Amino acid sequence: MTVQGANRIEIKDVFVGEVWLLSGQSNAGHSFEKPVGETGGKIRMYAGPTRRMKKTEDGKVFKENGKVVYEELPGRWLAKDTFPMVGWHFAREILERTGVHVGIIRTAVGGTRVHAWTPVAGAARGKKSARRNKNTPGILYEMHIEPVIPYRIRGNIWWQGESDMSPELVDTYAKRFPAMIRVWRERWGQGDFPFIWVQLQSMTPRAPWVGKDVPRGLPIMRDAQRKALSEPNTAMTVVFDIAKGIHPGEKDKAAIAKRLALAADALAYGKKIEWSGPLFENVVLEKDEVILSFTHAAGLTAGEGGALRGFEIRGGDGTFSPVKAEIRKDKIVVSAGGLKAPVVVRYAWHGSPDGNLRNGAGLPASPFTTDISSETGS
């Protein structure tokens, strides 16, 4: 780009396109082992200012007087680097669908909790402490989000929650996560920009670091993520059917990126497409039948065919049992015959669910639980 006046100013390597923020914990930031790049540099990642060891031309660490020399690198946009896997595949999907060049700002940090990404107010902000670490309330907002504001972004991709599944944290996630979304938008001043997240993948109690929290915490976490859809202009990608383990591999992340791009198509680019699987809306008890209603329910189907799987019911004795469910138009009907005072119906409420409910677009239903005693589910 050239600006001609009294002087001639030439600016090289100008990149025009859209920027997406990629945030959360390790699965959002998990990178390729080797640099990747798109021909023509149409996908780029922002590498923030950093400090690194200076090296000689042959790759050895440079020293002066026996001491390692460090160099300060300014922030820069890179066309080839060890991109985060899900961010790279998401950017490729957006480029292929829209033709728009894409920039990714990675702000993910492994093993982090949502309160570290949520700004704190007043005297607590920036308070120094010997116990200050990556999960100190507000610290990651200060370090990684605040410096980016008010950079113009198209939206945010979020993958986080594994570190919030413990008993002392998971029961409040349904309040803390939406609160974070609201304050980010308020601080950014760009209205309700698209905020799209990955609902947590399938895991077992053998999962490293978080396995002990999987049986109880993972289903509750997924339901909290579902409930956060009450925030405007948000979307959630259900992935328990295509991604497994604490750190799903590149193939899984590529499949997840396709579903994230579907949501981006609808929220950010205004395409009239189906971008979500069925989402539980309400429940009604009629005689011996429990009738479940959903949004995004056109063409409900049992996935691979056959009978629906994954539905359970709890009666007055407090025990959950598998229950037969059938599709009637855009609703699911569960038989409650023989149960005394049915209380709860739930779906795919396990670490590695076997649920197969989908809509006509082939997208899986989100796990959920509901109180039958109330006409409207939670």
Same-domain status, 133 and 257: yes
Task: Summarize pLDDT for 172-201 with one digit per residue, the tens.
Answer: 999 999 999 999 999 999 999 999 999 999
- Answer yes or no: do 201 and 221 share one domain: yes
Specify whether 181 is located in the same domain as 323: no
* Short-list 359, 364, 362, CA closest to 347: 364
Reply yes or no on whether the pLDDT at 334 is more than 60: yes
| Domain boundary pick from 212, 235, 267 | 267
95 and 214: one domain? yes
Last residue of a domain, one of 267, 294, 323: 267
Is residue 339 domain-resident? yes
Residues 163 and 308 in one domain: no
Does residue 55 sit in the same domain as residue 158?
yes
Tell me, yes or no, whether 1 lies in a domain. no
pLDDT at 377 over 70: no
CATH number of the domain bearing residue 141: 3.40.50.1110
303 pLDDT more than 60: yes
Do 205 and 338 share a domain, yes or no? no
Tens digits of residue pLDDT in 47-105: 877 676 788 888 788 888 888 888 877 778 889 988 999 999 999 999 999 999 999 99
54 vs 225 pLDDT, higher one: 225
**Mean pLDDT across the chain:** 91
Q: Euclidean distance between the first and final Cα of the chain, in Å?
A: 55
Q: Is there a single domain that holds both residue 23 and residue 165?
A: yes
Mean pLDDT, to the nearest integer, of 153-179?
A: 97
Query: At residue 127, does pLDDT exceed 80?
Result: no
Range of the domain at 358: 279-371
Can you give the pLDDT at residue 126?
53
Shared-domain flag, residues 129 and 217: yes
Mean per-residue pLDDT, 323-351: 89
Tokens of 356: 């197969």
201 and 113 inside one domain: yes
Of the pLDDT bands very low, low, confident and very high (cuts 50, 70, 90), residue 128 is: low
Task: Select, from the ranges 2-16, 115-129, 279-293, the one with the highest average predicted confidence (pLDDT).
Answer: 279-293
Return d(Cα 43, Cα 160) in angstroms, integer: 24
CB-based contacts of 313, cutoff 8 Å, min separation 6:
290, 320, 321, 323, 334, 336, 339, 342, 344, 345, 346
Spell out the SS3 assignment of the chain. CEEECCCEEECCCCCCCEEEEEEECHHHHCECCCCEECCCCCEEEEECCEEEECECCCCCECEECCEECEEEECCEEECEECCEHHHHHHHHHHHHHHCCCEEEEECCCCCCCHHHHCCCCHHHCCCCCCCCCCCCCCHHHHHHHCCCCCCCCCEEEEECCHHHCCHHHHCCHHHHHHHHHHHHHHHHCCCCCCEEEECCCECCCCCCCCHHHHHHHHHHHHHHHHHHHHCCCEEEECCCCCCECCCCCHHHHHHHHHHHHHHHHHHCCCCCCCCCCCEEEEEEEECCEEEEEEECCCCCECCCCCCCCCEEEECCCCCEEECCEEEECCEEEEECCCCCCCCEEEECCCCCCCCCCECCCCCECCCEEEECCCCCCC
Q: Find the angle CA(318)-CA(324)-CA(325) to the nearest 5 degrees.
A: 110
Please count the structural domains in the chain. 2
Are both 291 and 338 inside the same structural domain? yes
Same domain, 80 and 228: yes
Q: Is residue 11 part of a domain?
A: no
CA–CA dist 303, 170 (Å, integer)? 30
